Structure 1
């Protein structure tokens, strides 16, 4: 028998770190620095707070590292439903992490150009940010598929409330809708607020609910406890 309470706590903590670092990075880079369609303002924003920009890049780096590592505990928590599907689900998350890591190269490029001032950033800052955003959207298609699959597994699991599985599927559909629209809908900006609202609401409903549940259950059901734990099971043979 294996007790996965510690794994549940690690997964919940990992998700919590992702929430905080993602919010911080988005605030300092995508919202704080990038003025879409205005390269002069974007360069001015970056140069006025280069430390904030670099801290945002560091936060994104931590986020993607934790996101990749989180594939393992989520696999361990979902494999009792179906090992093959749990492996495929983990692979989708790893692919998203790999694509995001590739996107990060654009932000590192901007950081390297900051010492050269506006002349160095003039020709590349906007192109790098646009490429970062587009590459990230491609990765989020895989992330949306990951959440759909993970939600399907958790909705059939004895350890996770069924409604959390459904909420994760809702979140996955939201990511697929928003990222797909950004990549392929020519009038995305007209409906941007609607798409982003769906992602924010769905993400909170699904991923934050899972985070709080894992932290709460993992904290209550310590390894070695005599209480019957939903995170205790025999290693499945298949």
Structure 2
């Protein structure tokens, strides 16, 4: 298949040869002017990156940490981490890839939702930046869980049981750090849900789903902090459904161009 025809089938009529946009070739900055020329393209890029975020997140949490961590059993957890050190490191790397992808997604969503309410879109971007920063720093706890189990000279003053306990403590700190980061993301989902609902160029269903996701994130995180014995990851299932729906909609549908451009022209 011709390359241009393939890209047109994926991104719609907004795709053109780069040679037809000499001004864009010399200025690759994501400005509102550039964005207005191809919002559908950026929407699809955001959707694909969002899908990658979901895949990386599921891999790191469900296929790595849930597989290796034995909650309540310090020795078994330490043994699993040491026996699967490379998998543990791959899980951390997947999380970091997820957070790297967060940045372009949040910027694109800011531009997509800016016509609805500029101040709320900026507030949403701010919450998103905070949650990403918190979650990235929180990865140090996962590295610490591994470092405490290494046979290094500076750890000789600790007994094996103490090191196993410190490693396990690091994984618990990661759980709570993750919950704290998701408080900010809960507000992201609530704001995005409102903006999607009011936009008219996204389906209202997406807005409702994202709002429900925000409530679930907030509930789960505060339950984890206040009454951790009642914390249950199944509470986050609506979040998975909402975010997967959003990513797929962005990939295959994007935005209603005529309505988006009309809204954007009124809110420059």
Unaligned runs of 5+ in 1: 222-226
Q: Check whether the contact 1:28–1:52 (CA below 8 A) recurs between aligned residues.
A: no
Rounded Cα–Cα distance in structure 2 between residues aligned with 1:156 and 1:168? 13
Aligned to 2:55: 20
Aligned to 2:246: 210
Structure 1 position 204, deviation (Å): 3.2
Aligned to 1:167: 209
Aligned to 1:197: 234
Question: What does 1:1-238 align with in structure 2 at a 5 Å threshold?
Answer: 1-116=36-151, 119=160, 121-189=163-231, 192=232, 196-200=233-237, 202-218=238-254, 229=258, 231-233=260-262, 234-237=264-267
Aligned to 1:224: none
Identify the structure with bigger relative contact order (alpha carbons < 8 Å, sequence gap 6+). 1
Rounded Cα–Cα distance in structure 1 between residues aligned with 2:253 and 2:127? 26
Q: Check whether the contact 1:3–1:231 (CA below 8 A) recurs between aligned residues.
A: no
Q: Check whether the contact 1:150–1:165 (CA below 8 A) recurs between aligned residues.
A: yes
Note closer, same or farther for the CA distance 1:236–1:16 as it changes in structure 2 (3 Å cut): same
Runs of 4+ in 1 over 3 A off after TM superposition: 111-115, 117-121, 227-238
Greater shift in the superposed pair: 141-150 or 177-186: 177-186
Q: Deviations over 1:162-216 (max 9, x none)?
A: 1110110011111111111111125315xx2xxx32311x123311111111000
Rounded Cα–Cα distance in structure 2 between residues aligned with 1:121 and 1:31? 21
Q: Check whether the contact 1:2–1:232 (CA below 8 A) recurs between aligned residues.
A: no
Rounded Cα–Cα distance in structure 2 between residues aligned with 1:121 and 1:5? 52
RMSD value, Cα: 2.2
Q: Check whether the contact 2:220–2:236 (CA below 8 A) recurs between aligned residues.
A: yes
Unaligned runs of 5+ in 2: 1-35, 153-158
Structure 1 position 121, deviation (Å): 4.1
Structure 1 position 141, deviation (Å): 0.7
SS in 2 for 1:84: helix
